[in-house]
Structure 1
Amino acid sequence: MAKAKEVTMKTSIKYHQDDPWRLSEATFDPAHLGKYEAIFALGNGYLGTRAATEEANTGEVRNTFVAGTFDRLNEDEVTELPNLPDVFQVALVFNGQRLDLNQGKVLDYERSLNLKTGELSRHFIWRFGRNRYRITTSRFVSLARRHVMGQRIEVTALDGDATLKLSAGINGQVTNTGTQHFNDDVKRLYPHHILQLTTKTNESQVNFAITTQHRLSVPDDRLGYVKTEMLRRRLRATYTLPLTKDDPLTFESITTVYTSRDLDVAYKDRASLRRQGYQAALALEKMNFRQLLTESAAAWADKLWTPMPLEIDTDHARDQLAINFARYHLQIMTPGHDSRMNVAAKGLSGEGYKGHTFWDTEIFLLPYFIFSQPEVARSLVTYRYLGLHGARTKAADNGYRGAQYPWEAAWVDDGESTPVWGATDIVTGEATKIWSGFIEQHITADVAYGVEQYMRATDDEEFARTRGNEIIIDTARFWCSRLEWNPDVDRYEINNVVGPDEYKEHANNNAFTNHMAHWNLLQAMQLIDRLKTNEPAEYQRLDERLDLAALRPEIEERLGKLYLPAPNAEAIIPEDDAYLTLPTIDLKPYLTAGRVGALFDDYNLEQVNHLQVTKQADVILLLFLFERHFSKRVKLKNWQYYEPRTTHDSSLSLLTHTNFAADLGLKRKAYSYYRRARDIDMGTNMNSSDEGIHAASIAGIWSMTVLGFGGVRYLDGRLRIEPNLPDQWRQLSFCLWWHGQKLAVTETNQTLKIRNLTGTRVVEIDHAGASVEIPTHDEVLITR
């Protein structure tokens, strides 16, 4: 076996010790384009755009997406978010020489993302020959106006007068890695330098109107020649502008995007969207770039930073930067305005996973929104209710009853959206089949788990009555039909599945899957009993739809006979029926290689399937989610067994290990894992985010901070707060929502202070094995 190749790379990322709101690119390196395009992405949950530079670069990926506007190229492809026409590329030509940072010399370069305001700015001096030009740029996607994006470029000639040719417009020639999702377009040029392109997706027939207005600091009578071009799928304007030495010239573009999927647009046809875009451009003329940016920055403060502060008192500045970075990205990636949409695995920052939604939402992302933005959490779980039709269709197609949720979900009507084939096998040379869409079935229980967590943490009875109860019960119907009877051992089993450990395909009795299915069935049975006793009208409604009278005894019979993998004599829970019998290998060379997937330098997936190698937290995740079901000894023994066998080749793994280690009191190990998870996107691996940021891992930064180290947990219908602060932190303070009450929590290693800010009801929490009441508009101080 060859030693896995270790990766070392130079980095251009810059952290500011005295400013936890700013992340910077210190030098321009074309090898790092993808990293910054993703981590500097801008958005507002409706619109998202990668941070490609203004000037074109080889290897760049210009992506702009509108959430929920999925399209499919043909029957052989799965649906994906289409890449919108680009408005941010601007060509600058000085005295005939095009700006190109790979030529000449670049001085005083820095590009920064202001996490507090959502502004991406860049400044540098470009020297070509004897002439120097100072260039400053700024860009934002408005959080105050969902459809608006803005860009500003300031150019100054430093060594004498010059002539600048500036070309900008709307480029519909961009694709999704070669796939063109738009079939035709209509281009318009209007007075006041307004350009517009309307177009439509091929299969889903979603109409788009992209309108941009150019504004220059040079009066129209001094513009000189303005060349306008209408090309195939593209229109642009080229301005010839005089540059006077040391006199800055500014160019601004204000862009609006509207689609026929928008809930706030009354008329969806293309002509109406065209009028909407043009009228919006005219209305925005009264505000300049800076005013729109200031308005958007105020919205960031009002919607996120002011109402839900989160501060870490530590000498490790990257930790506060990380939580700010995480919450920024959670805000820009989440379409909380529209329950027909959900969070993509890469947010709106790249084409990875085609904009699809996974179990990531319920298990890793939803806790943040439940505790921080419950109205957004409601939208996310409503998406799953709207997807019931697709889930029922998938169950029926597979010969089951009830609702079987898709492993990858897109538009609410699309159903299963997982590709059938993936990367090429290094041994066989053939495409690898992606089994997740067929047999990674724990997603169905995961959805029910997220819905139940939301309902209990928010006390949202209206959602439970109109949506949530039906999801819990119909997913249980699926499991009743999915369980397999094994007469040889007198029990029900769940065979031929993929658990969270995706390196074990076709596993029998994956512990996580079986326990989650059992939980789902138990919740449904208890719910049916509660409804029959306390809400007879609701019981009758669901009985007519789902035949609760027949389902209830069926669930009870399945629960009594479902096999739940339990700790063996050594206290180890078998990940599946075969795992503990498989051979082991030395993983150290692969774990120290510094890159994901190093194992596949020497093995293919079929070979790994027959080794004691785990891709990501599986049994560990089970123990974390159901911590009260297992003893401290079982937890510790399984940690000691599975931790050295886990490659963490999924970005979901490190955060779970952090939280579990914190629960076990393994402070040094927890903080070590935390630092690795914290830096998946924000760290110095300059290729980690090329296809987009890792949405669940981003949410994991909050999870590790508040759930892991903060010790916040929803358990059996109650809120528990049991701080596990690392030694590197002196204090952690944050706000959270529970049963409609906003709590302010301050933790040290000696004290826990909780204040009831909303004050409309008394809140009870669990701490150190006791119940603690927080009175209305009062606080409780606990000495630990």
Structure 2
Amino acid sequence: MLNYSQGTGLLENWLISEMEFSPDTLGKCEAIMYLGNGYMGLRSATEEPYIQEKRNLFVSGTFNKAEENEVTELPNLADITRIDIRVDGEKFSLEIGKTKQYLRQLNLKTAELYRTFYWTSPQGKELKFKFRRFVSLDNLHIIGMKMSIESTSHPVQISFDSGINAQMTNSGSQHFIEGERRIFDKKFIQLIQTTNESNIDMVINTAHDLSINGQLVNANPTMNMGRRKVWLTYDVELKPHDKLEMEKITTVFTSRDKEFDTNEYSLQSLREHSLNVLKESFEIGYDRLFECHKQAWQSKVWSNYDFEINSDNSFDELAIRFSIYHLTVMTPAHDDRMGIGAKALSGEGYKGHSFWDTEIFILPFFVYSNPQIAKSLLTYRYHGLVGARKKAMDNGFKGAMYPWEMAWPSDGEVTPIYGDVDVVTGEQMKIWSGFIEQHISADIAFAVYQYYQVTNDQDFMDNYGYEMVFDTARFWASRLEWDEGKQRYHINNVIGPDEYKEHVNNNAFTNYMAYFNMKLAINYYYILANKNPRLLEELNARINIKEAIQEIHTKVEQIYLPNPRNEDLVIPQDDTYLQLKEIDLTKYKQQESVRTIYKDYNAEQINTIQVTKQADTLLLFYLLEQTFLHDDNRFQDKVKRANFHYYEPRTLHDSSLSLATHAILANDIGEHDLAYSLFKEACEIDLGPNMNTSDDGVHAAAIGGVWKAAVFGFAGVRQIDGELHINPNLPKHWHSMKFTIHWHGQPVTLFITQSTLTVKVSNKQQLSFEVFGKRFKCSDSITLAIK
């Protein structure tokens, strides 16, 4: 049972709490309470083991292919969290004995996991357990754990095993060859793992300290080694009211770390360095390490983003904080060679691969809140041009055709070929996304454009951005197919964002985004020709853009762009969608879990029904209204409204990406109650009462979407072709909202109430912005009436 009201005072709306233990629903809290710092993510499994647990430790960028017939994925590193506890020689488990006052809690403010309970053994002895854990944001390589066991009634013998367990797999796939294990001085444990295909070394070190009633004890542990495992066994006796405390400090380093990923790399130097860091950290101890970690969260995250909501429903503010917490722990801000996985670093779902989720749903948070991190994430895509060009060439195209799923930048396409069962044939369904879901190339170009418009980062454009836009435009120019009869270019046989429609022609989202991508390339080409011809010559030497721009220029105006229908202003999602049969979707719209339609239909049958998995055509309005196409009559308000009312009832939101877009558009068209309802539903994807939604990991894009729905929806913040617009319309039960964005290099704090908007600039640089059609300028602070 989850509870969000345990926080009071300074911790109000900061605590995610589990109030009862259930061995049948472990995955939810393991995922939503996972700890991380972008370098690594540690799933929050309990210390004592259970059958249905999933223990995961991932380090960003360490991709490996376990077998030739599998795709590359983030390997599950050795586990350091499991502690096998015995009470009077009997295994400790919450499935036996009696438990009371159980509480497991993630403190979003301090990024610490806390668990406590009273447990009475089958022999009637009562013990009080406390566990604490953090993954440091101050030192990215450190994991801290702390355990206390207090005997409240009887003398008791406590024994426990703790160390490093490399007997881990990715759902059965083993990624590592067995490495060396060693125990130094009966205290410092070291284990080495090396991936069997990518040849990445992982060095994990750990050490323990024990005390009873605050006094350090020399427990003289027994040293143990097994296959892929090394551990220490401790035995202590507790008298009534004695308290045993154990601290466990762990360090994790890999040969993929930038400081070691050099020609001079040696495993020995990595081993020595990592062990030295452990020894230094161990001397500092849990409490001081945690204090540094806590201060890092305050300075780097909460003070920096400065987000507050005063709502009658306190869940709203907690959900935003949950979003910001996870956006922080999922993002490898330390290394621009790494992206964000669809399940972040919280589970094995989607194998750690990056999708368009990053650019459309996650990146906007960083573009507006932390541009340096946004730049790093886009640079990851620049490094990925190697794989994108290879995919284009392999498919007979030019330029850069970005992988639908991307891992290490040079890996290229890594989407699995087969997935779920076909309910009709019993066979595995083919995953077509890696072959024909191609809009991601234009999505990345849009992300480059959005970043540039908000930040004015010319250095990024000169070094990375222009080349990405030009090469994706080259791809689209080569991808277009000429229809002789209709005298226009089509894009046939694709999947749009609505993955319930495969092998369609002229998906509106794909066609319009390709058109935008090509027009953007033309705009940038002539800007460089006039302002930086030297850079243009350098780019031309690399990708022959001068010749390509002629082809782009010739073809772009002949792309078929579906127009709103005369009778109802609906833009056809693709060539056939509006002619497909309609069925009663009520039971699927009211489903408690996603994708229940697959219990009744297979993919081929769903392809024949007017049903949409997620925002598709509607997403165009949100994206292209931010561009130089914002005045296009095809995207005017009445068209947006007509399309929303047509597609929303047909959209099942079976992708977690979908709800945020619909919430933003609902607010735009004045459907404010519906907008909040969709926002709350998006928040509940991971935070809702359904205890099985997050078993495979959190929904990273939805988490980014929660922030988007609040800032772009309710606060009405948009960049529209380089101009800042702020059109607030808060939910009626939100009294105020405060947050900080960055605009053209300057922090800007917005404070919004039901009747006023206050804009405060930090650097005293003049800010120009528009509110409900009126232009304003501000060099300090200004308060405007908005209702």
Q: TM-score by structure 1 length?
A: 0.97
Alignment of 1:209-228 (within 5 A): 209-218=203-212, 223=218, 226-228=221-223
1:498-531 CA distance string (max 9 Å, x none)? 0000000001000000000000000000110111
Q: Quick check: 1:313–1:731 contact (8 Å CA) kept in 2?
A: yes
1:30-67 CA distance string (max 9 Å, x none)? 11100000001000000100000000001100000000
Q: Quick check: 1:65–1:348 contact (8 Å CA) kept in 2?
A: yes
DSSP 3-state at the match of 2:698: coil
**TM-superposed deviation, 1:96:** 1.2
Out of 290, 302, 324, the position equivalent to 1:327 is 324
1:138-184 CA distance string (max 9 Å, x none)? 00000000100010000011112111101100000011001110112
Determine if the alignment matches structure 1 residue 152 to structure 2 residue 146.
yes
DSSP 3-state at the match of 1:84: coil
Question: Structure 2: which amino acid aligns with 1:282?
Answer: K
Q: Quick check: 1:12–1:28 contact (8 Å CA) kept in 2?
A: no
Q: RMSD of the alignment, in Å?
A: 1.4
Alignment of 1:328-407 (within 5 A): 328-407=325-404
Q: Quick check: 1:445–1:516 contact (8 Å CA) kept in 2?
A: yes
CA distance in structure 2 between the partners assigned to 1:671 and 1:778 by the alignment: 29
Out of 739, 742, 751, the position equivalent to 1:746 is 751
Q: Quick check: 1:227–1:239 contact (8 Å CA) kept in 2?
A: yes
1:262-298 CA distance string (max 9 Å, x none)? 0134764322221112111221233111111111000
Q: Quick check: 1:346–1:692 contact (8 Å CA) kept in 2?
A: yes
Judged with a 3 Å threshold, the aligned counterparts in structure 2 of structure 1 residues 300 and 421 are, in CA distance, closer, same or farther, namely: same
CA distance in structure 1 between the partners assigned to 2:244 and 2:543 by the alignment: 67
Out of 751, 761, 770, the position equivalent to 1:766 is 770
2:311 aligns to what? 314
**TM-superposed deviation, 1:224:** 5.4
DSSP 3-state at the match of 2:278: helix
**TM-superposed deviation, 1:15:** 3.5
**TM-superposed deviation, 1:665:** 1.2
Determine if the alignment matches structure 1 residue 435 to structure 2 residue 432.
yes
Determine if the alignment matches structure 1 residue 264 to structure 2 residue 269.
no
Q: Quick check: 1:668–1:726 contact (8 Å CA) kept in 2?
A: yes
Q: Quick check: 1:210–1:258 contact (8 Å CA) kept in 2?
A: yes
**TM-superposed deviation, 1:220:** 10
DSSP 3-state at the match of 2:283: coil
Question: Structure 2: which amino acid aligns with 1:779?
Answer: I
CA distance in structure 2 between the partners assigned to 1:731 and 1:752 by the alignment: 10
CA distance in structure 2 between the partners assigned to 1:758 and 1:719 by the alignment: 17
1:349-389 CA distance string (max 9 Å, x none)? 00000000000011001100001111100000000111111
Q: Quick check: 2:423–2:600 contact (8 Å CA) kept in 1?
A: no
**TM-superposed deviation, 1:593:** 2.4
DSSP 3-state at the match of 1:166: strand
1:408-450 CA distance string (max 9 Å, x none)? 0000111101001111101011111100000000000001111
2:573 aligns to what? 575
1:236-258 CA distance string (max 9 Å, x none)? 10011111211211011000000
**TM-superposed deviation, 1:348:** 0.3
Alignment of 1:723-738 (within 5 A): 723-738=728-743
Alignment of 1:412-491 (within 5 A): 412-491=409-488
**TM-superposed deviation, 1:539:** 1.5
Q: Quick check: 1:387–1:415 contact (8 Å CA) kept in 2?
A: yes
Q: TM-score by structure 2 length?
A: 0.97
Determine if the alignment matches structure 1 residue 252 to structure 2 residue 247.
yes
Judged with a 3 Å threshold, the aligned counterparts in structure 2 of structure 1 residues 304 and 515 are, in CA distance, closer, same or farther, namely: same
DSSP 3-state at the match of 1:556: helix
1:672 aligns to what? 677
CA distance in structure 1 between the partners assigned to 2:179 and 2:215 by the alignment: 29
Question: Structure 1: which amino acid aligns with 2:364?
Answer: P
Question: Structure 2: which amino acid aligns with 1:765?
Answer: F
Q: Quick check: 1:422–1:433 contact (8 Å CA) kept in 2?
A: yes
Out of 614, 630, 650, the position equivalent to 2:655 is 650
Determine if the alignment matches structure 1 residue 62 to structure 2 residue 55.
yes
1:4 aligns to what? none
Alignment of 1:564-643 (within 5 A): 564-569=561-566, 570-627=568-625, 628=630, 629=632, 630-643=635-648
Question: Structure 1: which amino acid aligns with 2:738?
Answer: S
CA distance in structure 2 between the partners assigned to 1:758 and 1:714 by the alignment: 20
Identity of aligned residues (%): 45
Q: Quick check: 1:223–1:239 contact (8 Å CA) kept in 2?
A: no
Of 619-628 and 475-484, the range deviating more from structure 2: 619-628
CA distance in structure 2 between the partners assigned to 1:253 and 1:133 by the alignment: 21
Q: Quick check: 1:12–1:29 contact (8 Å CA) kept in 2?
A: no
DSSP 3-state at the match of 2:557: helix
Determine if the alignment matches structure 1 residue 298 to structure 2 residue 301.
no
Name the count of aligned residue pairs: 772
1:163 aligns to what? 157
User: Which ranges of structure 2 fall in alignment gaps of 5 or more residues?
Assistant: none
Q: Quick check: 1:665–1:724 contact (8 Å CA) kept in 2?
A: no
DSSP 3-state at the match of 1:214: strand
Q: Quick check: 1:223–1:240 contact (8 Å CA) kept in 2?
A: no
Question: Structure 2: which amino acid aligns with 1:150?
Answer: G
CA distance in structure 1 between the partners assigned to 2:555 and 2:129 by the alignment: 68
Question: Structure 2: which amino acid aligns with 1:679?
Answer: E
1:8 aligns to what? none
**TM-superposed deviation, 1:601:** 1.7
Determine if the alignment matches structure 1 residue 180 to structure 2 residue 170.
no
DSSP 3-state at the match of 1:198: strand
Of 546-555 and 84-93, the range deviating more from structure 2: 546-555
DSSP 3-state at the match of 1:567: coil
1:781 aligns to what? 784
CA distance in structure 1 between the partners assigned to 2:202 and 2:622 by the alignment: 44
**TM-superposed deviation, 1:221:** 9.6
DSSP 3-state at the match of 1:217: strand
DSSP 3-state at the match of 1:395: helix
Question: Structure 1: which amino acid aligns with 2:651?
Answer: T
2:83 aligns to what? 90
User: Which ranges of structure 1 fall in alignment gaps of 5 or more residues?
Assistant: 1-10
CA distance in structure 1 between the partners assigned to 2:173 and 2:583 by the alignment: 41
Alignment of 1:124-143 (within 5 A): 124-128=117-121, 129-143=123-137
Out of 508, 512, 531, the position equivalent to 1:511 is 508
Judged with a 3 Å threshold, the aligned counterparts in structure 2 of structure 1 residues 178 and 459 are, in CA distance, closer, same or farther, namely: same
Question: Structure 1: which amino acid aligns with 2:161?
Answer: S
DSSP 3-state at the match of 2:120: strand
